[in-house]
Amino acid sequence: MPLSPMTFPDGHVGWRAHDHATVRAVLANNGFSIRPDLMHNPFGPGSPGDAPPSPPGAFTDHDPPDHTRYRSRLTGQFTVRRMRLLAERLEVITAEHLDELAAQGSPADLVEHFAVPVPGLMICELLGVPYERRAEFQQDAMTLTGGSGAEAGEAEAMFAAFERLQRFMLEMVAAKRARPSDDVLSDLVNSEVTGSGDALTDDEMAAMGMALLGGGLDTTTNMLSLGTLELLRDRARVEAMLANPDAAVEELLRYISLTPATVRTALEDVEVDGVVVRKGDTVLVELGSANRDPARYADPDVLDLARGAAGHLAFGHGVHQCIGQHLARIELKIAFPGLFTRFPKLRLAVPEDELPRRASLVIGGLERMPVAWD
């Protein structure tokens, strides 16, 4: 059955999409909405209307045409040229943090000293956060993701960090207006000046910056820790990563499926492979199951780092497909080989079942990952 019925926590009988073809079909169909305020929340008891409408500019939560208006201003900025420049910076940032990890001495926490700060600095590079403000930006970003400074789930500290980051982002927009540089926020501001887009407010631009921050931090951080965990299980896996990082990273993305599911709600009656999803029905779209669909991947539960995993859905599909995927790939392809070249004898410093896992259905990950080396 392409779609299976599912009872949501608020009692709504909606749907699950779980095979590769159906997940793609739902995500490609603009009859489905991503708006949190329309959905029956599958991860909590929320019903439509419980979540407030997302603010202008927070494009990850908007449907077309609003979403298109914002996203089209950003897609042109993830250019080959900018990605190449970022790759050069990432090489440096990665090497610096491997030094920092080494300086801690064995054992040390890979999450705190590597998996959290590197993606944070990558976002700083992308947005053009000035060097002298990076420490405070990083601290708040870490608090926001529960990485440091606040115990995971300490809502007040996270909310305060979110508000500070919002103010910071607004300040940055104003600063880029006054003195643009070569970064995403400057290009957003510049597109107004050159008339290449309709006017966006400062609040909208700041919200777009926050969306990039929100999308780019937790994901890459947890992919780094969980990916390392998978590689550490078998020396042959490390060799496979060093031999062909392109293929190995794609397969890790498929196998781990860091965002196991996303959610859509029908804006109208929509037919998916003979099943009619009624207007207002919510669909849990299971990216993780789709990535383990045996009709798409032979032996899907086997991590085969040489397979390449073309067509996986770890970055989603359709209009909301991950805007940062090229950057994420670059980072993972630099970070994993960098880590294992620098620490060939890397190993876990505690038994695996003592690793604190993040209790989240939205994004998996590790709170800490003590590693040792000789």
Alpha carbon distance 28, 26 (integer Å) = 5
Q: What are phi and psi of 284, to 5 degrees?
A: -85, 115
280 interacts with ligand HEM by CB under 6 A: no
137 interacts with ligand HEM by CB under 6 A: no
Per CB under 6 A, the segment of 86-94, 136-144, 168-176, 309-317 that binds ligand HEM is 309-317
Per DSSP, the three-state class of 322 is: coil
Size of the site for ligand HEM (CB under 6 A): 25
Q: Kind of pairing, strands 275-277 and 270-272?
A: antiparallel
291 interacts with ligand HEM by CB under 6 A: no
Alpha carbon distance 26, 316 (integer Å) = 11
Per CB under 6 A, the segment of 141-149, 213-221, 238-246, 351-359 that binds ligand HEM is 213-221
220 interacts with ligand HEM by CB under 6 A: yes
Nearest distance from residue 211's CB to ligand HEM, in Å? 5
323 interacts with ligand HEM by CB under 6 A: yes
Q: Peptide bond before 107: cis, by omega within 30 degrees of 0? A: yes
Please give the residue whose beta carbon sits closest to ligand HEM in the complex: 324
For ligand HEM, the closer of residues 272 and 314 by Cβ is 314
Cα angle, residue 166 at apex, residues 165 and 171 outer, rounded to 5°: 90
Q: For residue 278, how many C-alpha atoms fall within 13 Å in the half-sphere facing its CB?
A: 4
The answer to whether residues 355 and 347 touch, using CB atoms and an 8 Å cutoff, is: no
275 CB-near residues (< 8 Å, 6+ apart): 1, 2, 3, 15
For ligand HEM, the closer of residues 106 and 360 by Cβ is 360
Per CB under 6 A, the segment of 44-52, 258-266, 291-299, 333-341 that binds ligand HEM is 258-266
**x-marked contacts with ligand HEM along 184-203 as a string, rule CB under 6 A:** --------------------
Per DSSP, the three-state class of 271 is: strand
Nearest distance from residue 84's CB to ligand HEM, in Å? 16
Instruction: Give residue 23's identity as a one-letter amino acid code.
Output: V
Alpha carbon distance 259, 361 (integer Å) = 8
266 interacts with ligand HEM by CB under 6 A: no
262 interacts with ligand HEM by CB under 6 A: yes
Candidate list 8, 137, 297, 315; residue touching ligand HEM; CB under 6 A: 315
41 interacts with ligand HEM by CB under 6 A: no
258 interacts with ligand HEM by CB under 6 A: yes
316 interacts with ligand HEM by CB under 6 A: yes
Full DSSP string of 40-104: PPTTSS--TTSSPPPPTT-GGG--TTHHHHHHHHHHTTS-HHHHHHHHHHHHHHHHHHHHHHHHH
Candidate list 17, 212, 277, 371; residue touching ligand HEM; CB under 6 A: 212
Q: For residue 239, how many C-alpha atoms fall within 13 Å in the half-sphere facing its CB?
A: 3
Candidate list 8, 15, 59, 114; residue touching ligand HEM; CB under 6 A: 59
Chain residues that interact with ligand HEM, rule: CB under 6 A: 34, 59-60, 71, 126, 211-212, 215-216, 219-220, 223, 258-259, 262, 287, 314-316, 320, 322-324, 327-328
